[in-house]
Amino acid sequence: MARLTGLVLAGGASSRMGTDKALLVVDGERLVDRAVRVLSTVCERVVVASGERRLAGLAVEQVTDALPGSGPLGGLVAGLEAARTPLVAVLAVDLPDAAAEVFAELAQRWRGEPALVPVVGGRPQALHAVWAASAAVALRTRLAGDALGVIAACEAVGGQLLDGSWPPGLARNLNRPEDLPAVHPRRG
C-alpha cells in the first residue's frame, strides 16, 4: 500500500447549513475531529485545509486554500502541495460516514493515477478519494483559469472513476439542516 497523507477539506462557507459544518457535533464529536480520526487510522500525517480561518482545538496542521474563495478545489490544491507522501487521502468534512477501509483499498489499487475516485450510486465521490500529490500542478493551473469544479478537474487530469461495491454511506453528506436528523436522529 502506498504511504498516505490525509487531507480534510474544511474551509467551506457552509452557507446552505447556516453554521460552520466543521464544528457540527455528530454522535458527540465535531465533524472535523471525526474526519481527522478516520484519516489518522490509515495516514501517517493529517492536514486540514481550513480556508481563510483557523479551527480551534486541532492538533494537526492547517493550511490555507490555494486561492481564496475557490471552494473545495482550492483546499485540495493546498493539501496536495502540503503532502509529504506521493498519495493523499482526501475527505470532505461533511461526509460523516467516511470509511478508512475505502482509503486503504484505494491506496492498494493505486498505480500512479492522478486520482482514484469511488463511484457510489452513479455519482463520483471525489472528496472521499485518493489523489496523487503530483496532480497539484495541473489542478493549480485549473484554479488559475477559474475552472473550480472538482469532478471536472478529476476528469481533466486523468483521474480514474471506480465502480464497485463501495459502502453506500460514502455518498451521504451534510449540506442543509434537514440533513442532520438522518445522521443524528432525535429521540423522544
Q: Is residue 28 part of a domain?
A: yes
Q: What is the mean pLDDT of each run of 10 residues along the chain (188 residues)?
A: 91 69 87 96 96 92 91 95 97 93 96 96 94 96 85 95 89 74 43
Q: What's the domain count of the chain?
A: 1
For the record, the C-alpha cell of 5 comes out as: 497523507
**Residue 131: φ, ψ to 5°:** -125, 140
CA 186 to chain centroid, in Å, comes to: 27
Is 139 inside a domain boundary? Answer: yes
Q: Is residue 10 part of a domain?
A: yes
- Is 112 inside any structural domain? yes
Cell numbers 446552505 correspond to 16
Asked whether the whole model's pTM tops 0.95, one would answer: no
Identify whether 46 is part of a domain.
yes
* pLDDT, tens digit, 9 for 90 and up, residues 94-149: 999 999 999 999 999 999 999 999 999 899 999 999 999 999 999 999 988 877 78
Task: Indicate whether 187 belongs to any domain.
Answer: no
Domain hosting residue 35, numbered range: 4-179
Q: Does residue 48 contact residue 32 with C-beta atoms inside 8 Å?
A: yes
Domain assignment present for 186:
no
Residue 3 has a pLDDT of: 92
Q: Is residue 154 situated within a structural domain?
A: yes
Q: Where are the alpha helices (DSSP H) in the chain?
A: 31-40, 71-82, 100-109, 136-144, 150-156, 180-183
- Phi and psi (nearest 5°) for 17? -75, -35
At residue 176, the pLDDT reads 65
Here the CATH number for the domain that contains residue 31 is 3.90.550.10
